[in-house]
């Protein structure tokens, strides 16, 4: 994957990792297609980039619009070299307090939306036998933790789909697939996360506030894409330890998560605010 002069389509580009990644690839000489819900934020971002951008605002789950948007994106510069599926929403609610409507919303936004866009762009890439697909999953795509049952389920589903897709198109058509699994990053992800009733949480949490800098994360992603990395985990502390523990010593990981679950259950029983803490993995 060569970033310079490439056409790169980024969803969820109006803030957070998506915005930082748009700045990083544009600084490296890429032409960007910027998508997200907030047209004003996308246009403001485009105005600061050193290379030309196409602003394509849309709601991730507006599936009927996707074919026309793919055509518009593809025709802008005669193809899309890299699609980065970044748009998503998180969750901060215990399973016992989460409605099925919230689970459906999480799956629609975090799984079906990126898959739908990918399904439409891949045939174009196959026709010319080149291209690259990236998806922002999460450490939660490998590890289930309290307060994120629906989010983790959707991110696990992403890993299954994109690992399978890579197997089908990498050698057969020369199309790369990169799965990216960040831990806590200093973004609005916790503030915008869904509560059990579907309302936005409205406040951040310590893990996110003390998380990785989005610009540092974007730099690592660009480096990984240019190196052809298939899977990239970007995490620190206990989150960095969690993924290898899941396969090497799962009981240690399960014990740590169970302790956190017990703490949250006690807070709920006491009528206290149920907030995530820092999980210790020993």
Q: Which two tokens stand for residue 168?
A: 């089908």
Cβ contact 240:233 at 8 Å: yes
For residues 84 and 136, give the distance between their C-alpha atoms in angstroms, rounded to a whole number: 7
**Nearest 5°: phi and psi at 115?**
-65, -40
For residues 184 and 213, give the distance between their C-alpha atoms in angstroms, rounded to a whole number: 9
pLDDT value, residue 94: 98
- What is the CATH number for 50? 3.40.50.720
Overall number of domains in the chain: 1
Cβ contact 132:225 at 8 Å: yes
pLDDT value, residue 228: 96
Cβ contact 93:194 at 8 Å: yes
Q: Please state the rounded mean pLDDT for residues 220-235.
A: 97
pLDDT value, residue 93: 97
Q: For residue 113, how many other CB atoms are within 10 A of its CB?
A: 24
Q: Please state the rounded mean pLDDT for residues 202-227.
A: 96
Q: What is the 3-state composition of the chain as percent helix, strand, coil, each rounded to the nearest 5? A: 50, 15, 35
Cβ contact 58:109 at 8 Å: no
How sure is the predictor about 179, in pLDDT bands with cuts at 50, 70 and 90? very high
Q: Please state the rounded mean pLDDT for residues 182-190.
A: 96
Checking if the pLDDT of 75 tops 90, the result is yes
Evaluate whether residue 257 is within a structural domain.
Answer: no
Q: Please state the rounded mean pLDDT for residues 122-137.
A: 98
pLDDT value, residue 277: 78
For residues 182 and 82, give the distance between their C-alpha atoms in angstroms, rounded to a whole number: 19
Cβ contact 193:200 at 8 Å: yes
Cβ contact 36:62 at 8 Å: no
Evaluate whether residue 37 is within a structural domain.
Answer: yes
**H-only helix segments in the chain:** 16-27, 39-48, 66-76, 100-107, 113-128, 149-173, 206-209, 214-227, 237-248, 250-269
Checking if the pLDDT of 281 tops 60, the result is no
For residues 9 and 7, give the distance between their C-alpha atoms in angstroms, rounded to a whole number: 7
What number of CA atoms fall less than 13 Å from residue 61's CA on the CB side?
11
Evaluate whether residue 247 is within a structural domain.
Answer: no
The domain in which residue 88 lies consists of 7-236
Whether 103 sits among the annotated catalytic residues: the reply is no
pLDDT value, residue 199: 98
Distances (CA, A) of 232 to 4, 131, 181, 206, 260: 21, 18, 6, 24, 26
Evaluate whether residue 245 is within a structural domain.
Answer: no
Mean pLDDT of the chain: 96
pLDDT value, residue 239: 95
Beta bridge partners of 233: 181
Evaluate whether residue 115 is within a structural domain.
Answer: yes
Evaluate whether residue 278 is within a structural domain.
Answer: no
Which of these is catalytic: 151, 161, 162, 173? 151
pLDDT value, residue 282: 46
Checking if the pLDDT of 280 tops 80, the result is no
pLDDT value, residue 4: 95
How sure is the predictor about 1, in pLDDT bands with cuts at 50, 70 and 90? confident
Checking if the pLDDT of 278 tops 90, the result is no
Evaluate whether residue 228 is within a structural domain.
Answer: yes
Q: Please state the rounded mean pLDDT for residues 200-222.
A: 96
pLDDT value, residue 276: 87
- Does the CA dihedral 67-54-90-175 come out positive or negative? positive
Q: Please state the rounded mean pLDDT for residues 47-55.
A: 98
Nearest to 35 by CA among 15, 64, 6: 15
Q: Which two tokens stand for residue 89?
A: 């929403």
pLDDT in tens, 241-275: 999 999 999 999 999 999 999 999 999 999 998 98
pLDDT value, residue 115: 98
pLDDT in tens, 88-99: 999 999 999 999
């Amino acid at each position: 994957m060569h970033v310079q002069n490439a056409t790169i389509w980024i969803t969820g580009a109006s803030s957070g990792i998506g915005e930082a990644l748009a700045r990083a690839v544009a600084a490296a000489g890429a032409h960007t297609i910027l998508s997200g819900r907030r047209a004003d934020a996308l246009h403001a971002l485009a105005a600061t980039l050193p290379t030309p951008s196409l602003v394509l605002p849309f709601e991730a789950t507006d599936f009927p619009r996707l074919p026309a948007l793919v055509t518009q994106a593809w025709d802008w510069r005669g193809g899309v070299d890299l699609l980065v599926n970044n748009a998503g929403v998180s969750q901060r609610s215990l399973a016992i307090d989460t409605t099925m409507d919230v689970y459906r919303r999480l799956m629609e936004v975090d799984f079906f939306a990126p898959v739908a866009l990918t399904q439409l762009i891949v045939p174009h890439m196959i026709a010319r036998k080149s291209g690259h697909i990236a998806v922002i999953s999460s450490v939660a795509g490998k590890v289930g933790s309290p307060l994120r049952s629906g989010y983790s389920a959707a991110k696990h589903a992403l890993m299954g789909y994109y690992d399978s897709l890579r197997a089908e198109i990498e050698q057969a058509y020369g199309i790369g697939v990169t799965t990216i699994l960040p831990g806590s990053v200093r973004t609005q992800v916790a503030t915008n996360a869904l509560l059990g009733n579907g309302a936005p949480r409205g406040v951040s949490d310590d893990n996110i506030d003390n998380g990785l800098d989005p610009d540092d994360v974007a730099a690592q992603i660009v480096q990984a894409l240019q190196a052809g990395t298939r899977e990239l985990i970007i995490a620190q502390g206990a989150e960095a330890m969690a993924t290898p523990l899941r396969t090497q010593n799962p009981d240690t990981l399960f014990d740590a998560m169970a302790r956190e679950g017990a703490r949250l259950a006690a807070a709920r029983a006491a009528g206290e605010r149920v907030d995530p803490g820092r999980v210790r993995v020993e």
